[in-house]
């Protein structure tokens, strides 16, 4: 059981969303969870996905630089990296390998500190 005090918050929604909120209540009851647990976990997921270091980019990046490549974040799930690397050509794979080696060198340096 997690320790700490609960903070009470609220949110509002449009009337046309009542059905989805009702369904959330049904799902929460079926899973033995509180609605707030589900909402907080969704908020955590949203923040992880949209905080710095995420892999969303503005379309302007490609307009301004046709060679711009969106690379998964270093902590992205392994499957995302497998998918990305599968679509890379040999030059891109070489560049990524060089960057990965440099990162590993830095990690070893900081581990020894």
At 40 the pLDDT is 93
Q: Is the pLDDT of residue 31 over 90?
A: yes
More confident residue, 51 or 71: 71
CA distances (Å), origin 72, targets 40, 81, 84, 85: 25, 6, 7, 10
Tokens of 1: 């059981």
Stated as kind and residue range, the H or E segment containing 22 is helix 18-31
Domains of the chain, by residue range, sit at 15-50, 60-112
DSSP 105: H
At 54 the pLDDT is 53
Per-residue pLDDT tens over the stretch 32-62: 999 999 999 999 888 877 766 555 556 566 6
């Amino acid at each position: 059981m997690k320790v700490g005090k609960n903070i009470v918050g609220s949110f509002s929604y449009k009337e046309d969303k009542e059905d989805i909120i009702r369904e959330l209540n049904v799902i929460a009851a079926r899973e033995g969870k509180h609605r707030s647990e589900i909402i907080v976990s969704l908020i955590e997921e949203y923040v992880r996905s949209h905080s710095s270091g995420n892999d969303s980019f503005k379309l302007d990046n490609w307009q301004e630089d046709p060679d711009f490549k969106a690379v998964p974040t270093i902590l992205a799930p392994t499957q995302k990296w497998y998918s990305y690397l599968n679509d890379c050509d040999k030059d891109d794979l070489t560049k990524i390998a060089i960057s990965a080696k440099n990162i590993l060198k830095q990690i070893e340096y900081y581990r020894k500190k």
